[in-house]
C-alpha cells in the first residue's frame, strides 16, 4: 500500500505573528518498496514533510495515508502510537536522543515501548546493532562515551530495532566523513533491497541520490516541485541547475563531453561504462 | 510557546525604544516602589495614566498587555475565593444560605488586581521596548557602584545575557528531543508510573547532555577570542543619557513623590 499526501498544508505557530506556512497543498504518492530521496534547499519543508509520516505533525488541512491508516487534523493521538512503530523516523543528528546507561538498553528502548518483552527487545536490539555494524563488545558500554559516528549508528539501530515497515531518515549522513557516509548509505540500500523496507531519505548529497535512490522528490517553498525517477531527473542537468541542485560528477562529466563533441548515450550510468565509451570514440577517430 | 508575551521584546521604532536602558530600568524600579504606597484610587489612577501614556508612546498595543495579564487571572480568581471566605468586614453585599459576601473582600481583591495590572504594565513597558542585550548592559552599569562591596557586576550581566541568549535554543532543543523520543514510542500523556519516569528521563538526560555541550562550546569559543572575566573590556555600544532619559527619570521621581504625598501628607 503506497503512502499518499492529499492536499496537505501545514502551518507553524498558527494564529501568532510568527505564523509560517511550511507545507502548501502537497500532493504526493510514495511507492512501497522503493528508496526515495527528498531534496531541496534548507527551509523548503523537507523535515516538516517527513514528520507527517509518523504523525508527529498533523496536517492543518488535507489527509496523509500511511499503511492503511489515515491521518487528518482531527486525529486522536491514541490511535497513532502503533503507527510510530511501523514508520521508523530517524531525526537529524539522532545521537542527541541517546539517554540510557548502556548501548544495548538504549537500542532496546524503542521495542519495549511498543510492547516487546524484555527478552524479545534484547534480541531485536542485538540484531539491529549487528545490522549497523556494531558487535557485541559495544553492548555494555555507555552510549555517551562513543564517537559521533558510532552514536549515530546506535541511534539508527534504536529505530531499526522497532522493526518498522517504512524507514524515514532526515539527513542521516550530515556531518559524517565520506567513509562513514558510504557505509551508512550501503546499510540503507541493503535494508531496502534485502529486507524490503520502504525508505525515504532527506539528503543534500546528490552523489548518493544518484547511486542509491530510485525516486526523487524536490521540495521548494513548501511545495513539491518535482517527483520522478532518479534517472529521468538527472537526465536534464539544466533543469537541476535551475533548481540550484548540482548534478552528480558523472552527469556533469557527461555534459562536458557532449559539449566537446563526444557522443554520450543517456543510458551510461557508471564511470567505467563512460570511460569505455570515450575510449572507443577516441580510438575510432584517433 | 509562541503565546508567551510577558517579558518579550517587541522590535518597534519609538522614542521609548530609543531610550537609555539604565534610565528605563531606574524609572521602572521607582514606579514599582510607588505602587506599594497606599495612595488610594487617585494614586492608582495617576500611575495608570502614566503607564498608559508610556504604552502609547512606545507603540505597544493594549491587547499585548492583556495577554500578559491573562495567566494571572486564575490566580486572582483563586484569591477572590479565599478573600470571600475569610474577610468578613465592610458592608454585607448579599447572602446565599449561610454565606455572606462582604464589600471588603471585593475591594481587597480589586486592590490587588489593580496593583498587579499596574506592575505588568510597567514591567512590560521596559521589557517590550528594550533589547535583551541592552538590558544586560544597563544592569551591568547600574550594578557598577556595588562592585566596591564585591558584587561581580560584569559577571552577573554576562550570566543574564547568556541565559537570555540560550532560552529560545533550549526550547527548540526540547521540542526536538520530545519529537525524537515520541518517534521511539514514548508516550508523554499517559502510561504507568514507571513508564512515565522513563519518559521524563528520556527527555532530561539528552537535554542536559546537549546543554552541557553547548556550554562547553560557548566557553571554548569565548576563550579562543580572549575573553577573561574580570579583565578590563571596552564596549562596542556606549550608553549615553540624553534629554528624554532625564525627562523619564524626573517623571518617575515625581510620580513616586506624589504617591508618598498622597499616602502620608494629605
Ligand atoms: N518549530 C517550528 N516553528 C516555526 N517555524 C518552523 C518550525 N520548524 C520549521 N519551521 C519553518 O518551516 C520552514 C520549513 O522547515 P523545515 O521543514 O525544517 O525545512 P528543511 O528541513 O527543508 O530545511 C522553515 O522556514 C522553518 O523556518
Ligand atoms: Mg530539515
B177 contacts A96? CB cut-off 8 A:
yes
pLDDT of residue B231: 78
Query: How far apart, in whole angstroms, are the C-alpha atoms of residue B61 and residue B45?
Result: 19
The pocket of ion ligand 2, defined by CB under 5 A, consists of: A 47
Give the start-end residues of each E strand in chain A. 3-12, 20-30, 35-39, 61-66, 69-71, 87-90, 166-170, 198-202, 215-220, 223-229
Q: Which residue has the cell 521596548?
A: B129
pLDDT in tens, B80-111: 999 888 888 888 888 888 888 888 889 889 98
Ligand 1, pocket-test mutation among A8, A9, A10, A12, most atoms within 8 A of CB: A12
pLDDT of residue B219: 92
Indicate which CATH number applies to the domain containing A178: 3.40.50.300
Query: How far apart, in whole angstroms, are the C-alpha atoms of residue B107 and residue B96?
Result: 19
B62 Cβ neighbours under 8 A, 6+ residues apart? B55
Residues A64 and A12 in one domain: yes
pLDDT of residue B2: 44
Query: How far apart, in whole angstroms, are the C-alpha atoms of residue B157 and residue B135?
Result: 9
Residues A64 and A162 in one domain: yes
Of A18, A77, A109, the CB nearest to B189: A77
Query: Which domain, by its residues, includes A252?
Result: 248-286
Most A CBs within 10 Å: which of B11, B180, B195, B214, as the mutation test of the A interface? B180
Mean pLDDT for chain B overall: 88
B172 Cβ neighbours under 8 A, 6+ residues apart? none
Residues A210 and A264 in one domain: no
Residues A233 and A256 in one domain: no
Distances (CA, A) of B8 to B83, B117, B129: 32, 17, 9
pLDDT in tens, B176-189: 999 999 999 998 87
| CB-CB contact of A99 with A91 (8 Å) | no
Q: Which residue has the cell 525524537?
A: B180
Element (H, E) at B196: helix B193-224
Q: Which atom of ligand 1 is nearest to the CA of A202?
A: 21
The pLDDT of B114-130, averaged and rounded, is 92
3-state DSSP helix/strand/coil % of chain B, to nearest 5: 70, 5, 25
Provide the residue ranges of all domains of chain B, joining segments of one domain with +: 15-131+240-265, 163-224
pLDDT of residue A185: 95
| CB-CB contact of A8 with A23 (8 Å) | yes
Ligand 2 center–CA A50 separation, angstroms: 9
B171 Cβ neighbours under 8 A, 6+ residues apart? B1
pLDDT of residue B6: 65
pLDDT of residue A182: 92
Residues A226 and A268 in one domain: no
A56 contacts B183? CB cut-off 8 A:
yes
Query: How far apart, in whole angstroms, are the C-alpha atoms of residue A170 and residue A38?
Result: 9
Residues of chain A with pLDDT under 50: none
| CB-CB contact of B10 with B233 (8 Å) | no
Query: How far apart, in whole angstroms, are the C-alpha atoms of residue B89 and residue B101?
Result: 9
A16 contacts B2? CB cut-off 8 A:
yes
Of B173, B185, B189, the CB nearest to A85: B185
Of A56, A96, A159, the CB nearest to B210: A96
pLDDT in tens, B208-255: 999 999 999 999 999 999 888 777 778 888 888 999 999 999 999 999
Residues in chain A: 286
Residues A107 and A82 in one domain: yes
Nearest residue to A112 (alpha-carbon basis) of B175, B173, B181 = B181
Q: Which atom of ligand 1 is nearest to the CA of A20?
A: 5
| CB-CB contact of A117 with A163 (8 Å) | no
Instruction: Show the DSSP H helices in B58-152 as ranges.
Output: 62-86, 103-127, 132-143
Query: How far apart, in whole angstroms, are the C-alpha atoms of residue A89 and residue A91?
Result: 6
pLDDT of residue A18: 74
Distances (CA, A) of B249 to B26, B44, B60, B137, B253: 7, 19, 20, 18, 6
Q: Which ligand has its closest atom nearest to the C-alpha of A52?
A: 1
Three-class DSSP labels, A112-177: HHCCCCHHHHHHHHHHHHHHCCCCHHHCCCCHHHCCHHHHHHHHHHHHHCCCCCEEEEECCCCCCC
Nearest residue to B248 (alpha-carbon basis) of B22, B65, B45 = B22
Strand partners, B102: B92
CB count within 10 Å of CB A267 equals: 8
Count of CB pairs separated by less than 8 Å, A with B: 60
Residues A236 and A269 in one domain: no
Ligand 1 center–CA A199 separation, angstroms: 22
Residues A132 and A197 in one domain: yes
Q: Who lines ligand 1 at CB under 6 A? A: A 12-13, 20, 22, 40, 42-48
Residues A99 and A194 in one domain: yes
Residues A151 and A279 in one domain: no
Ligand 2 center–CA A170 separation, angstroms: 7
* Residues of chain A positioned with their CB less than 8 A from the CB of B209: 96, 99, 144
A158 to chain B: nearest residue by CA?
A: B184
Query: How far apart, in whole angstroms, are the C-alpha atoms of residue A237 and residue A215?
Result: 16
Of B3, B183, B201, the CB nearest to A16: B3
Residues A14 and A42 in one domain: yes
pLDDT of residue A286: 67
Residues A197 and A285 in one domain: no
Phi first, then psi, for residue A167 (nearest 5°) are: -115, 125
Cα B106 to the chain's mean position, in Å?
27
CB count within 10 Å of CB B223 equals: 10
Q: Which ligand has its closest atom nearest to the C-alpha of B173?
A: 1
pLDDT of residue B55: 93
* Residues of chain A in Cβ contact (below 8 Å) with chain B: 13, 16, 18, 51, 54, 56, 77, 81, 84-85, 88-91, 94, 96-99, 109-110, 113-114, 144, 158-159, 162
Number of domains in chain A: 2
Nearest residue to B252 (alpha-carbon basis) of B12, B13, B35 = B35
* Residues of chain A positioned with their CB less than 8 A from the CB of B189: 77
pLDDT in tens, B2-40: 455 667 788 889 999 999 999 999 999 999 999 999 888
Amino acid at each position: 500500500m503506497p503512502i499518499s499526501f492529499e492536499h496537505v498544508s501545514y502551518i507553524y505557530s498558527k494564529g501568532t505573528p510568527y505564523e509560517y506556512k511550511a507545507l502548501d497543498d502537497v500532493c504526493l504518492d510514495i511507492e512501497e518498496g522503493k528508496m526515495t530521496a527528498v531534496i531541496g534547499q534548507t527551509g523548503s519543508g523537507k523535515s516538516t514533510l517527513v514528520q507527517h509520516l509518523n504523525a508527529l505533525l498533523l496536517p492543518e488541512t488535507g489527509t496523509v495515508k500511511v499503511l492503511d491508516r489515515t491521518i487528518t487534523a482531527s486525529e486522536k493521538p491514541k490511535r497513532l502510537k502503533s503507527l510510530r512503530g511501523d514508520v521508523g523516523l530517524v531525526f537529524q543528528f539522532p545521537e542527541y536522543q541517546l539517554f540510557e546507561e548502556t548501548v544495548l538498553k538504549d537500542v532496546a528502548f524503542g521495542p519495549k515501548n511498543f510492547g516487546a518483552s524484555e527478552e524479545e527487545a534484547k534480541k531485536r536490539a542485538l540484531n539491529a546493532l549487528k545490522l549497523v555494524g556494531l558487535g557485541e563488545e559495544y553492548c555494555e558500554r555507555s552510549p555517551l562515551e562513543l564517537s559521533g559516528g558510532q552514536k549515530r549508528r546506535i541511534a539508527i539501530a534504536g529505530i531499526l530495532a522497532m522493526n518498522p515497515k517504512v524507514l524515514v531518515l532526515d539527513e542521516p549522513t550530515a556531518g559524517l566523513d565520506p567513509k562513514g557516509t558510504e557505509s551508512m548509505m550501503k546499510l540503507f540500500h541493503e535494508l531496502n533491497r534485502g529486507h524490503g523496507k520502504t525508505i525515504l531519505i532527506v539528503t543534500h548529497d546528490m552523489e548518493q541520490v544518484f547511486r542509491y535512490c530510485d525516486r526523487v522528490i524536490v521540495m521548494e517553498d513548501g511545495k513539491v516541485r518535482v517527483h520522478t525517477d532518479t534517472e529521468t531527473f538527472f537526465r536534464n542537468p539544466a533543469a537541476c541547475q535551475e533548481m540550484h541542485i548540482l548534478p552528480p560528477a558523472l552527469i556533469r562529466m557527461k555534459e562536458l563531453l557532449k559539449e566537446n563533441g563526444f557522443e554520450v548515450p543517456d543510458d551510461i550510468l557508471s564511470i567505467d561504462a563512460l570511460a569505455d565509451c570515450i575510449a572507443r570514440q577516441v580510438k575510432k577517430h584517433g | 510557546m509562541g503565546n508567551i508575551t510577558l517579558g518579550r521584546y517587541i522590535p518597534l521604532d519609538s522614542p521609548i525604544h530609543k531610550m537609555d536602558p539604565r534610565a528605563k530600568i531606574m524609572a521602572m524600579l521607582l514606579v514599582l516602589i510607588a505602587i506599594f504606597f497606599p495612595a488610594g484610587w487617585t494614586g492608582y489612577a495617576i500611575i495608570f495614566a502614566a503607564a498608559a501614556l508610556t504604552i502609547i508612546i512606545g507603540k505597544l498595543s493594549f491587547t499585548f498587555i492583556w495577554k500578559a495579564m491573562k495567566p494571572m487571572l486564575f490566580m486572582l480568581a483563586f484569591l477572590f475565593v479565599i478573600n470571600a471566605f475569610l474577610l468578613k468586614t465592610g458592608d454585607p453585599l448579599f447572602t446565599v444560605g449561610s454565606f455572606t459576601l462582604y464589600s471588603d473582600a471585593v475591594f481587597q481583591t480589586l486592590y490587588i488586581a489593580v496593583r498587579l495590572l499596574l506592575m505588568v504594565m510597567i514591567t512590560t513597558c521596559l521589557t517590550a521596548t528594550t533589547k535583551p542585550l541592552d538590558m544586560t548592559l544597563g544592569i551591568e552599569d547600574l550594578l557598577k557602584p556595588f562592585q566596591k562591596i564585591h558584587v561581580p557586576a560584569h559577571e552577573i550581566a554576562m550570566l543574564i545575557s547568556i541565559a537570555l541568549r540560550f532560552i529560545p535554543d533550549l526550547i527548540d532543543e526540547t521540542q526536538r528531543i520530545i519529537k525524537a523520543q515520541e518517534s521511539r514510542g514514548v508516550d508523554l500523556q499517559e502510561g504507568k508510573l514507571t513508564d512515565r519516569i522513563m519518559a521524563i528521563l528520556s527527555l532530561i538526560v539528552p537535554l542536559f547532555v546537549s546543554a552541557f555541550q553547548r556550554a562547553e562550546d560557548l566557553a571554548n569559543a569565548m576563550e579562543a577570542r580572549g575573553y577573561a572575566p574580570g579583565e578590563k573590556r571596552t564596549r562596542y555600544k556606549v550608553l549615553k543619557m540624553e534629554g528624554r532619559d532625564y525627562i523619564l527619570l524626573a517623571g518617575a521621581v515625581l510620580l513616586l513623590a506624589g504617591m508618598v504625598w498622597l499616602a502620608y501628607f494629605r
